[in-house]
Structure 1
Amino acid sequence: MADLTQQEWKAKLEADNNALVLDVRTPEEVAQGIIPNAIHIDIFKGQGFIDEVQQLDKTKSYFIYCKAGARSGQACAVMNQLGFNKTYNLLGGFNEWQGEVSSL
């Protein structure tokens, strides 16, 4: 797991053609907007979060964000324990995101 600033996170994401963006916020938070092409899996689902994450491809890089950066850090730690080797946490989360935003 690596904690990256928005600039580092975006640059690394754009340079990685084997990457997925993962949004771990609540559905209510996602309704306010989402980073384009992100997969949404709510970390508050508990075991449901783990079950859904385990279905993801462990060979990919995961760029993970939440509202402020704390839950995405937890998600990175959980995913690392499950065998995911490339997880990147967006410091400041969606609150500080200055890139493109879309709606679901």
Structure 2
Amino acid sequence: MENLNEKKWYEGLKASSNSEIIDVRTPDEFDDGYIEGARLLNIQDSSKFMAEVEKLEKDKDYYVYCRSGRRSEMACQIMEKAGVENAYNLQGGILDWTGNLKK
């Protein structure tokens, strides 16, 4: 697991041919705006979150974010314990994101 600033997080995402963006916020937060291409895995619904993490491809690159970076850091740690090799947390979360958001 690595904590990356927005620039490194985005550059890593674009450079990877085997990556996925994961938003770990709530559905309501997701509906307020998300990073294009993000998949919602609500960490606050712990049993469903864990079930989905177990299904993830372990050798894929996962770029994870939340509102401020705390929940996504925890999510990356959980993913790593579940066998995911590459999980990257967006420091500062979507609050510090300067790119466009989808709705």
TM-score tier after normalising by the smaller chain length: over 0.9
2:86: which partner in 1? 86
SS of the aligned residue for 1:72 comes to helix
Match of 1:36 in 2: 36
TM-score of the aligned structures, taking structure 2 as reference length: 0.97
Letter in 2 for 1:3: N
Displacement of 1:45: 0.6
Name the amino acid aligned to 1:26.
T
User: What are the ranges of 5 or more consecutive residues in structure 1 without an aligned counterpart?
Assistant: none
Structural RMSD (CA): 0.7
- Counting aligned pairs with the same residue, the percent is 38
**TM-fit CA distance, 1:55:** 1.2
The secondary structure found in structure 2 opposite 1:42 is coil
TM-score by length of 1: 0.96
After the TM superposition, which segments of 4 or more aligned residues of structure 1 sit over 2 Å from their partners?
A: none
1:97 aligns with 97
Q: CA deviation at 1:31?
A: 1.1
Distance 1:27 1:40 in 2: 7
Q: Write the mapping of 1:22-33 to structure 2, written as runs, cut at 5 A.
A: 22-33=22-33
- CA offset at residue 100 of structure 1? 2.1
Paired residue secondary structure (1:63) = strand
